[in-house]
Amino acid sequence: MTKKISGLLAAPFTPMHPDGAINTSKIPAMVDLLVNNGITGIFICGSTGEGPSLTVSERKELAEAFVDAAGKRLKVFVHVGHNSLADARDLAAHAQQTGADFISATPPAYFKISSTDMLVQSLAMIASGAPELPLYYYHIPSLTGVGLDMVDFLEQAGQAIPTLAGIKYTAPFVYEFQSCMNYAGKKYDVLYGSDEMLLSALATGSKGFIGSTYNFIAPLYRELINSFNSGKLEAAQALQLTSVDIVRVINKYGGLRAQKTMMKLIGMDCGPVRLPLRPMDAQETMEMEKDLQQATFFDWASKLDAQPH
């Protein structure tokens, strides 16, 4: 049975210079911020990290910098999914060589995969690049368009991929998530990826969460989990509602681009997003800041000066 990962794992933004070039010099401070605010792992070069917008060599450079900055204080997942499976396998091999703890991958998405069998074969090819690293399938149908049944997937992939460890499950279908968590005597580790529904996942038995808002409001979620675990349900509900309010602001301002700007608002400037995403201008940022204030964002923001947790 796969060892289960628990706690909050953040999917860090990729720090960039104003011109869009990556800026690895920011990474040590970013990682310290996460560690000091109680984050237990990171998931790099995924959707939040703008992974698909990066070149293979940029992704490798980022993997090295994050693994180095983590210094074993955090578990490091490297997302290696790519439209080109040869590139994905190459990234997997590099992740293993670099000392990452896990790999994860979305499926190729230009040619849409429509059968579980081809999904498994594609992931097996990726896994072959990193035979010593556990693999988590990254299920995010809203971005990949691949929405195959995940219980069927576990059944077929479990036989074909020796390193399969579980799923990063980013979708609101908690019933399927629950089936996956309980499949084959809880054989696999299934991490939940929709921050605005953390409480739903928690109630069904989830222990580990990967998300983007854990980058900047980790204290809210730590408190939420503590409240729930100590039987303070109403407090947990109120905290989740605050998270939902903040996510509504994020969505109003365009999702990822808004989130990256929020890092600047808490004092950890990660630079702008890269094309094809649209950067935010000063006016939008100011308006968003007001909306965030109203949603009590700053009361729950991760603290630059938090003490090691």
Q: Which stretch binds its own copies (CB under 8 A): 11-19, 34-42, 85-93, 162-170?
A: 85-93
Which residue carries 């992704």 as its tokens? 59
Site for its own copies in 209-238 (CB under 8 A): 228, 231, 233-234, 236-237
When asked if residue 281 is in the footprint of its own copies (CB under 8 A), the reply is no
Select the residue interacting with its own copies from 2, 6, 23, 53 (CB under 8 A).
Answer: 53
- Reply yes or no on whether 26 is catalytic: no
When asked if residue 298 is in the footprint of its own copies (CB under 8 A), the reply is no
Distance between CA atoms of 45 and 52, rounded to whole angstroms?
Answer: 8
Distance between CA atoms of 136 and 166, rounded to whole angstroms?
Answer: 5
Query: Is 163 annotated as contributing to ligand binding?
Result: no
Between 29 and 109, whose beta carbon lies closer to its own copies? Answer: 109
Length of the chain: 309
Among 128, 131, 184, 126, which residue's Cα sits nearest to residue 154?
184
CB 51 within 8 A of CB 273: no
Select the residue interacting with its own copies from 276, 283, 305, 307 (CB under 8 A).
Answer: 276
Among 238, 227, 242, 240, which residue's Cα sits nearest to residue 199?
240
Q: Which stretch binds its own copies (CB under 8 A): 102-110, 214-222, 283-291, 301-309?
A: 102-110
Total residues binding its own copies (CB under 8 A): 68
Of the residues 26, 60, 137, 138, which is catalytic? 138
Which residue carries 């994905």 as its tokens? 88
Select the residue interacting with its own copies from 274, 291, 296, 306 (CB under 8 A).
Answer: 274
Between 226 and 267, whose beta carbon lies closer to its own copies? Answer: 226
Q: How far is CA 208 from CA 84, 167, 227, 274, in A?
A: 29, 11, 16, 29
Query: Is 42 annotated as contributing to ligand binding?
Result: no
Q: Which stretch binds its own copies (CB under 8 A): 31-39, 195-203, 218-226, 259-267?
A: 195-203
Q: How far is the CB of 32 from its own copies (least distance, A)?
A: 28
Give me the half-sphere count of Cα atoms (radius 13 Å) on the Cβ side of residue 256.
Answer: 21
Return the biggest CA–CA distance within the chain.
53
Q: Which stretch binds its own copies (CB under 8 A): 120-128, 184-192, 263-271, 297-305?
A: 120-128
Which residue carries 């703008």 as its tokens? 50
Residue 18, judged by CB atoms within 10 A of its CB (0-12, 13-18, 19+), counts as exposed
Distance between CA atoms of 88 and 56, rounded to whole angstroms?
Answer: 9
Select the residue interacting with its own copies from 132, 175, 185, 308 (CB under 8 A).
Answer: 175
Q: How far is the CB of 255 from its own copies (least distance, A)?
A: 9
Distance between CA atoms of 105 and 80, rounded to whole angstroms?
Answer: 5
Distance between CA atoms of 17 and 23, rounded to whole angstroms?
Answer: 6
Q: Which residues bind its own copies (CB under 8 A)?
A: 47, 50, 52-56, 58, 82-87, 90, 107-111, 113, 115, 117-119, 121-122, 125, 143-145, 151, 172-176, 178-179, 182, 194, 196-197, 199-205, 228, 231, 233-234, 236-237, 240-241, 244-245, 247-248, 256, 274-278
Q: Which residues are annotated as a binding site for pyruvate?
A: 48, 210
